[in-house]
Amino acid sequence: MTNDDTMKDTAETAGRTGDDSLSSDGWERRYEAGETGWDRGETSPALLRWLDQNVLVPCRILVPGCGRGHEVIELASRGFDVTAIDFARTPVRELTHRLTQAGLIADVLRENVLCFATSDRFDAVYEQTSLCAIDPKHWMAYESRIFSNLKHGGQLFAVLMQSSKQQGPPFHCDPKRIKKVFHPSRWAWPRESFTIDHPVGMHEVAVVLTKLEK
């Protein structure tokens, strides 16, 4: 577990996308100003449904763009081996503290999801309101990172924000568009998906993709 504010200068610089509001500094400012309307304050019902139905069972799992990480705490408490990443200082610090207070263990890293790479690949990824926080021009790079960091046959549990707006964040994650990024040549798409409401007045589409053998 790490929470060293000084060691991740790479996260600061790599997070600069040209739009400062989408850089690590931009996201940090939202946390400092308390502008975190995306944060439910509790575990997403989509994750609880997958857990309670044993669709997602304890494994090595990555949570990109974890924010305050209510889902990270839920997963760690249920015996998952969790790695959570976010490039903003405040959520990483707060999540690390909450895990310690709860006597739970997870790796919480201050990293840029667009640069994150590991040789110890994950069984699953839990994606919630992370893709919609990233400029769509980087979505192919995001897909590439998720793909590379998953084992063959690994699963992406995706909760996709439907904002129906041109601008973001949150950028609209229209499933048809997402299917072009997470292409069926690389990912098996199921017939089933479900929808959940989000407190900001939007809704999310929850779907489980499986990485195809390559």
Write out the residues near ligand SAM by the rule CB under 6 A. Answer: 15, 27, 38-39, 65-67, 85-88, 91, 112-114, 128-130, 133-134
- Report in angstroms how near the CB of residue 95 gets to ligand SAM at its nearest: 10
Report helix, strand and coil shares of the chain as percent, to nearest 5. Answer: 35, 25, 45
Q: Residue 123: which H helix or E strand, with range? A: strand 122-128
- Report in angstroms how near the CB of residue 179 gets to ligand SAM at its nearest: 21
Token readout for 112 is 């840029």
Residue number, 128 or 155, with CB nearest to ligand SAM: 128
- Report in angstroms how near the CB of residue 22 gets to ligand SAM at its nearest: 7
- Report in angstroms how near the CB of residue 212 gets to ligand SAM at its nearest: 25
Beta bridge partners of 194: 206
The residue among 112, 43, 102, 105 whose CA lies nearest residue 80 is 105
Residue number, 40 or 212, with CB nearest to ligand SAM: 40
Residue number, 152 or 194, with CB nearest to ligand SAM: 194
Q: Residue 124: which H helix or E strand, with range? A: strand 122-128
